[in-house]
């Protein structure tokens, strides 16, 4: 594909995204747009979920990877491609390369989740594990490209990648022509930039809101400074948007076209993931749940109809287990308490009876009677309880105190 340029950066136009859409016909799925009754009631106007978590490879990344690799010359294709990723981009590049008959090598961190490593291999890539963090993996992939002549496929900082991701914006306008606000996660910015190019060209009145994890919000200082700024140590469980520096190409587009960038906390991400699973019956990774987290944190800030893009669903089962427990805790569905009680026959039974009256379900209990921290007639109990929300948590604690138990926290 060819792009017009300015003095500072390649500038995408609507025709570029439409060209990518034609290229992706029969390759990428037109993913479903599902209504959410719960979020609609919360926001006060219709809310729809754009299910890119159900895309081939489990995320939107296939779109950009396929368009980028399709644009390579025969000589470049013969040299193969190389990428670095902890998951979604890796799988997108692997499948796109296989579909186009191009050899691919993907570098992944040593600690990458095994399901993601296995899926990348199954899509046809040679996987090399290198480095403990993505920056180290990225450097290894770039060295490999220099040494072998393979074409490095950047996850977000290239016009072809952005044009491919922008096809999601065209689909949203086709599926929900009355949309007033689009909410989507931002990592390096390729996805948000592409959607913004497509949507603003056709519907400049549509508000586009980007969402970043609070611990990896590289766009806020960058937009304030007017140029990409690097974070020292981005930290979030949402690895799909855990990026320390905006891409140069998407940054210029986001600065011009995206109306607002918000942040969400880890607790809000956990609650959003839990809501997607329970209410929408959709498995979504933390990065994919970030738009829902933004809606939950400030529901009245979004003019509807709203489309929230669930950008990916590739979540490691072990991480899912931890996230769900964290989400349940953040939502008041899980309560951990430590209590002191008199060490006498029947004391533990009395505690369990009080919990039964309070309608709290005991998930786990630890009873310690011999510890130097305890008095001669004391015992300590660690409780893990399933509860029904923040109000119920407060009621359980109050019931235990009223029954004479000393709640330590």
Q: Of 231, 173, 234, which Cα lies nearest the Cα of 205?
A: 173
- Enter the tokens of residue 150: 């393979």
Angle, to 10 degrees, between the axis of helix 61-70 and the axis of helix 88-100? 40
Return the closest-CA partner of residue 241 out of 197, 286, 205: 286
Catalytic-labelled residue, pool 36, 85, 311, 329: 311
Nearest to 122 by CA among 168, 91, 143, 144: 91
Sequential DSSP letters for 78-121: HH-EEEE-SSHHHHHHHHHHHHHT--EEEEE-TT--HHHHHHHH
* Residue of 50, 61, 116, 200 marked catalytic: 61
The CA-CA-CA angle for residues 192, 193, 194, to 5°, reads: 95
Sign of the dihedral defined by the CA atoms of residues 123, 115, 276, 323, in that order: negative
61 is catalytic: yes
The answer to whether the CB of 51 falls within 8 A of the CB of 35 is no
The alpha carbon torsion through 64, 85, 75, 4 (nearest 10 deg) reads 40
Rounded to an integer, what distance in angstroms lies between the CA atom of residue 154 and that of residue 135?
13
Task: Tell whether omega for the bond before 305 is within 30 degrees of 0, i.e. cis.
Answer: yes
The CA distance from 140 to 188, in Å, is 19
Phi-psi domain of 334 (left: phi exceeds 0; alpha: psi -120 through 50; beta: other): beta
Helix, strand, coil percentages in the chain from 3-state DSSP, rounded to 5: 45, 20, 35
Which residue shows structure tokens 């296995």?
118
- Tell me the C-alpha to C-alpha distance, in Å, between residue 60 and each of 7, 165, 383: 30, 7, 42
Q: Put the strands of the sheet holding 378-386 in their side by side order.
A: 361-368, 378-386, 334-342, 406-407
Catalytic machinery residues: 61, 311
């Amino acid at each position: 594909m060819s792009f017009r340029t300015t003095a500072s950066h390649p500038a995408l136009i609507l025709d570029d995204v439409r060209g990518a859409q034609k290229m992706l016909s029969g390759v990428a799925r037109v993913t479903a747009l599902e209504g959410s009754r719960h979020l609609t009631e919360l926001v006060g106007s219709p809310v729809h979920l754009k299910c890119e978590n159900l895309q081939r490879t489990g995320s939107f990344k296939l779109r950009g990877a396929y368009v980028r690799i399709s644009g390579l010359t025969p000589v470049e294709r013969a040299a193969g491609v190389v990428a670095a990723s902890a998951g979604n981009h890796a799988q997108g590049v692997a499948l796109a390369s296989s579909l186009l008959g191009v050899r691919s090598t993907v570098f992944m961190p040593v600690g990458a989740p095994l399901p993601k490593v296995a899926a990348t291999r199954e899509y046809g890539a040679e996987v090399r594990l290198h480095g403990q963090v993505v920056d180290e993996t990225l450097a290894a992939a770039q060295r490999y490209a220099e040494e072998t002549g393979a074409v490095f496929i950047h996850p977000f900082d290239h016009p072809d990648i952005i044009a491919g991701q922008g096809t999601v914006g065209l689909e949203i306008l086709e599926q929900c022509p009355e949309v007033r606000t689009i909410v989507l996660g931002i990592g390096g910015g390729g996805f948000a930039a592409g959607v913004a190019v497509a949507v603003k060209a056709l519907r400049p009145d549509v508000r586009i809101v980007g969402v970043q994890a609070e611990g990896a919000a590289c766009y806020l200082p960058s937009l304030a400074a007017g140029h990409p700024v690097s974070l020292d140590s981005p930290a979030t469980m949402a690895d799909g948007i855990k990026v320390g520096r905006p891409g140069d190409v998407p940054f210029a587009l986001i600065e011009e076209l995206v109306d607002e960038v918000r942040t969400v906390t880890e607790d809000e991400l956990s609650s959003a993931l839990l809501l997607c699973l329970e209410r929408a019956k959709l498995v979504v990774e933390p990065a994919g749940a970030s738009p829902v987290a933004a809606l939950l944190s400030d529901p009245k800030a979004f003019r509807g109809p709203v489309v929230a893009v669930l950008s990916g669903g590739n979540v490691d089962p072990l991480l899912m287990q931890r996230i769900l427990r964290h989400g349940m805790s953040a939502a008041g569905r899980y309560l951990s308490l430590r209590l002191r009680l008199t060490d006498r026959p029947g004391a533990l039974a009395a505690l369990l009876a009080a919990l039964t009256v309070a309608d709290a379900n005991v998930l786990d209990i630890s009873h310690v009677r011999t510890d130097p921290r305890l008095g001669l007639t004391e015992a300590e109990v660690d409780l893990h309880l399933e509860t029904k929300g923040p109000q119920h948590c407060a009621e359980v604690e109050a019931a235990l105190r009223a029954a004479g138990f000393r709640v330590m926290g």
